[in-house]
Amino acid sequence: MRSKIWTLGLLALGLLCVNPACSREAADSGDHPHGHAAVVAAEFDGEGRFLVELEADDQALGGAEGEALVTVVVYSGYACPPCARTWQVLDNLVEDYGDDLRVVFRALTIPGFAPGEQAVEAAFSAGAQGKFWPMHRRLYAAGGRFDRATLDKLAQELELDPGRFADDLDTGVHTGARMRHRRQALELGIEFGPIAFVNGRPIVGFRSEPEWHALIDLELAEARRRVDSGTARAALYQGFMAEAEKKRVELPEELLARYRELLAKRDPGPAAPKHTPDPAVRYAVGAEGAPTIGPEDAPVLIVAFMDLECPFCKRIHTESLGAALREKFPEDVRVAIRHYPLPIHPAAGGIARAAVAAHRQDKFWPFYERAIAAKAGSLSRTKFVEIADEIGLDKDRFLADLDAPEVIEVVREDMMLGRRLGVDGTPGMFLNGRYLTGYQTLDALSERVEEELALAREAEKAGTPRADYLEKLLADAVQPSQFPNAAL
């Protein structure tokens, strides 16, 4: 059995089948798949039944909940070629079995692989407009291309409400459902797909259509036996789950090791900071390329790594880092903003890109002020356009820049710098290169500014011109390049 799971797992990873059509040759030969089912010996990948609960928001094909004899829950992702082949088979099975079969989609994404994550959220967004399955099939046909332009094109083909679709992706409306599915998968021991549960019995990796027929026929026979014994169809799945165990699918360690090796080569995901900045050390963190406010020759520079959905970022801007600090030190403090959207705030990445797009038209600060003052969760592409109109942006250019690779790269570079430095939350600030983390009151921040101004005055008395002070100070500081790079 373990040898069989190993072979199927390799198929799931695409290692044995270099031609996507090769695993379907058996299914495509003959007059009807049921003709093969009688001669195919197939087994489930595990003993007993696994506890896989159904949910009210499930997207499903085939028979209605409570009517189907066999329910198949499939964990899969759109960046997975074997998953695409599996869904081709499942579409055929739904046609063959009609109302006796119900197939449920569960998302299984790779952490940090943003295109695959956004593809799932695009499917859920289409589902909110009644078009989940048409989007589902188009995403698999897209061949792994999930850039925003492609997703928008698919939405247009399906005649979705474009504003609602865009807002859903920008604000991460469906991030919670995607993450919930992944947590469920991990509880079942699943890290990759496709893995399906047929009335709770597991199938690991791609299976041919005849194998699927053989396994479903086994479950159909058991379901019919129970119905004949008095179990109502509506109670069948609950009955199977009453016998199920909350346990993990056992996979060979060599398969898991090979999967993780491939995953690391493809997309290692966000790396945790390898160190924490020492507040006593001065780091060479400048303002190059970042939007700034305040005199260019100011002897104090605060580089703030900000998440515009973070409540503490909003608070520090309102109470200390924003206008209050500039009013107190109008000639001596310059503030630079670098983007650091956190995974716990799904909309933060889109807001950061919108701010960069505004910066490309020299309107960063008007946009930033409105964005950071907005209620958390209220910003979306529709709202971005409203702000763009308010502050006089070229709207067409702004919308084009929102998803432009150059804009995405600006946010990515800021995040990589922050991770390299060890920023572990927002707001994270470097005041003349010295690290301050978390919310700072105006008094606390002013005290640190006064300390740096005292040093600047001493340097000026010693002959260092005010305009040259900061450059000279940071030239002797610890360079970010001394720390390992951080993958995104």
pLDDT of residue 485: 53
The encoded tokens of residue 400 equal 């084009």
Residue 199's nearest CA partner among 241, 230, 232 is 241
The encoded tokens of residue 161 equal 């409400």
Q: Which residues pair with 62 in a beta bridge?
A: 102
pLDDT of residue 346: 83
Neighbouring residues of 83: CB distance < 8 A, sequence distance ≥ 6: 76, 77, 140, 193, 194
CA distance 254 to 306: 42
- Reported as a single tens digit per residue, the pLDDT across 147-159 is 888 999 999 999 9
The encoded tokens of residue 60 equal 């499903």
Task: Tell me which of 2-11, 85-94, 96-105 is least confident.
Answer: 2-11
Distance of CA 415 to the CA centre of its chain: 15
Residue 73 has pLDDT above 90, yes or no: yes
Which helix H or strand E contains 302, and what residues bound it? strand 300-306
Give percent above pLDDT 90 in the chain: 66
- Reported as a single tens digit per residue, the pLDDT across 240-275 is 999 999 998 887 676 567 666 656 655 444 444 557
More confident residue, 184 or 3: 184
Q: Binning pLDDT at 50, 70 and 90, where does residue 296 land?
A: very high
Residue 482 has pLDDT above 50, yes or no: yes
Residue 294 has pLDDT above 70, yes or no: yes
Q: Binning pLDDT at 50, 70 and 90, where does residue 484 land?
A: low
- Reported as a single tens digit per residue, the pLDDT across 420-440 is 899 988 999 999 999 998 899
Neighbouring residues of 16: CB distance < 8 A, sequence distance ≥ 6: 7, 10
Same fold, 2-266 and 292-482: yes
Average pLDDT over residues 165-186: 88
pLDDT of residue 24: 33
Q: What is the mean pLDDT of the chain?
A: 86
Looking at mean pLDDT, say which of 25-29, 77-81, 182-186, 353-357 comes out highest: 353-357
List the chain domain ranges. Answer: 2-266, 292-482
CA distance 469 to 303: 16
CATH topology of domain 2-266: Glutaredoxin (3.40.30)
Residue 209's nearest CA partner among 23, 347, 79 is 23
Residue 347's nearest CA partner among 204, 176, 197 is 176
Q: Judging by DSSP bridges, how do beta strands 333-339 and 300-306 pair with one another?
A: parallel
Residue 118 has pLDDT above 80, yes or no: yes
- Reported as a single tens digit per residue, the pLDDT across 193-210 is 899 999 999 998 889 999
Residue 334 has pLDDT above 90, yes or no: yes
Q: Judging by DSSP bridges, how do beta strands 70-76 and 59-62 pair with one another?
A: unpaired
Q: Which CATH class for the 292-482 domain?
A: alpha beta
pLDDT of residue 191: 80
Neighbouring residues of 230: CB distance < 8 A, sequence distance ≥ 6: none
